[in-house]
Structure 1
């Protein structure tokens, strides 16, 4: 998953640059610091105006999900649940406490610890469902921040273009300044549209898919733990959870 996102970004940038080269241009013409400052700085500023700082910070943190967040380990987790079922039947629910200490996933560790403490299915559901829903809503809000930034970026590109043209009109007698102003105008537009449609909007949608997949994974964990709490055997648990493996 991470490789495809990296490859997609590289392919998009390469396609734009190569098309510009085929049209007789130079790659260096597309590098413009003032244009990048207007588009990136303005887009981030607009997001900070609309959303809480904590949401924007989480959105920036979650950008890495599209490049490094792998598929949810449904099959591996099912294997763990079957093993925990066997341990619970042999040693009792208290035997799962040592298993909980080995886990790095906070959600699964919390659920397994509740099970080891003798909590029933109702307690497991009421506790873990709140965690699932709240985490999903926080992460989907961060994805909405990224999508909103994708809506602002083209507008920031237009602002950059207008500023570049203002600079041009004020320096008609200076050919060197004239060229820089025109470059800033058109490159800012490319940056705004490119950042939105080749980066922010696709990544926002991808993060939403990742969040939903993680929710299904946590849903499988919750159902598996409740089945263990009810005393079901490994075969029954595997049959009940088999449908999640397609997620």
Structure 2
């Protein structure tokens, strides 16, 4: 698990609250249900309206992944491929069937299984690359949900502020109420801008980055499967795959 999103979002709000306190404000005054309900509720539903129910469900799964997902470890895929390549070179592709039981990478297992079944190398590559494209499309839609929410939220906040100011104008005869009403009105804009820039847009970017790393690893896996089928030298395979690893995986490996 990579704690970057949790740390970033939490500390982002901590800085905002700290700045508010330093300016003499009371953080409790920022917590007001009506503007928060308007911003978060309306933003969620209008973002959902721009897609499908399936898109919304995928986005919710993506939100969980954004907080719990980690950077794929490139060394694991390289070790698995090299081990399989070494055995295939010594005992043949059919000997890999039992070894796959110890591999926890479904994509690698699928590719090697196709190879064991005698599928043409080009067909194996086509099948695996089609799966990569499907993943890219699914991940893009999940990230788009939060990017769209980040675009809608500030505008929804402005709508809330306008509604609040209308309410202010309705109460001009009660000047003692005006300060509270104006402050409440502008809280909608505050939450609209804050939610967009501290929550929604960072989550969208996080999902894009995780997708890039996972897709890169899948592409490395495809090259590994092709090398196993070709009977390449395991040392050559290891050197080639390590050169293709994404930057995040290289950092993990070096650590």
Query: Could you say which TM-score interval applies, normalised by the shorter chain?
Result: over 0.9
Q: Distance in 2 between matches of 1:239 and 1:20?
A: 53
Q: Which position in structure 2 is the counterpart of 1:39?
A: 39
Are residues 1:56 and 2:56 paired? yes
Q: CA deviation at 1:67?
A: 2.1
Q: CA deviation at 1:60?
A: 2.1
5+ residue gaps, structure 1, are none
Q: CA deviation at 1:72?
A: 1.4
CA contact (8 A) 1:93 1:118 kept: no
Q: Secondary structure at the match of 1:158?
A: helix
CA contact (8 A) 1:93 1:117 kept: no
Tell me the matched-pair count.
Answer: 247
Q: Distance in 1 between matches of 2:173 and 2:93?
A: 83
CA contact (8 A) 2:66 2:206 kept: yes
Are residues 1:165 and 2:165 paired? yes
CA contact (8 A) 1:120 1:229 kept: no
Equivalence map 1:146-185=2 (5 Å): 146-173=146-173, 178=178, 180-185=180-185
Please list every run of at least 4 consecutive aligned residues from structure 1 whose deviation after the TM superposition is greater than 4 angstroms.
173-180
When structure 1 is superposed on structure 2, of 214-223 and 63-72 the one drifting more is: 63-72
CA contact (8 A) 1:160 1:184 kept: no
Residues 216 and 246 (structure 1), Cα distance of their counterparts in 2 relative to 1, 3 Å cut = closer
Q: Distance in 1 between matches of 2:234 and 2:201?
A: 43
Q: CA deviation at 1:206?
A: 2.1
Q: Which position in structure 1 is the counterpart of 2:137?
A: 137
Q: Which position in structure 2 is the counterpart of 1:127?
A: 127
Q: Which position in structure 2 is the counterpart of 1:215?
A: 215
Q: CA deviation at 1:31?
A: 0.4
Q: CA deviation at 1:169?
A: 2.3
5+ residue gaps, structure 2, are 248-255
Are residues 1:98 and 2:91 paired? no
When structure 1 is superposed on structure 2, of 75-84 and 206-215 the one drifting more is: 206-215
TM norm structure 1: 0.92
Are residues 1:111 and 2:111 paired? yes
Q: CA deviation at 1:28?
A: 0.5
CA contact (8 A) 1:56 1:145 kept: yes
Q: CA deviation at 1:98?
A: 2.3
Q: Distance in 1 between matches of 2:187 and 2:104?
A: 46
Q: Which position in structure 2 is the counterpart of 1:241?
A: 241
Instruction: Name the Cα RMSD after superposition.
Output: 1.9
Q: CA deviation at 1:180?
A: 4.9
CA contact (8 A) 1:84 1:96 kept: yes
Q: CA deviation at 1:91?
A: 2.9
Q: CA deviation at 1:181?
A: 3.1
CA contact (8 A) 2:217 2:245 kept: no
TM norm structure 2: 0.89
Are residues 1:192 and 2:192 paired? yes
Q: Render the CA deviation track for 1:129-187: whole Å, top value 9, x for unaligned.
A: 11010111111122112111100000011111112122222234456764553233111
Residues 23 and 101 (structure 1), Cα distance of their counterparts in 2 relative to 1, 3 Å cut = same
Q: Distance in 2 between matches of 1:46 and 1:246?
A: 36
Q: Secondary structure at the match of 2:171?
A: coil
When structure 1 is superposed on structure 2, of 72-81 and 161-170 the one drifting more is: 161-170
CA contact (8 A) 2:78 2:238 kept: yes
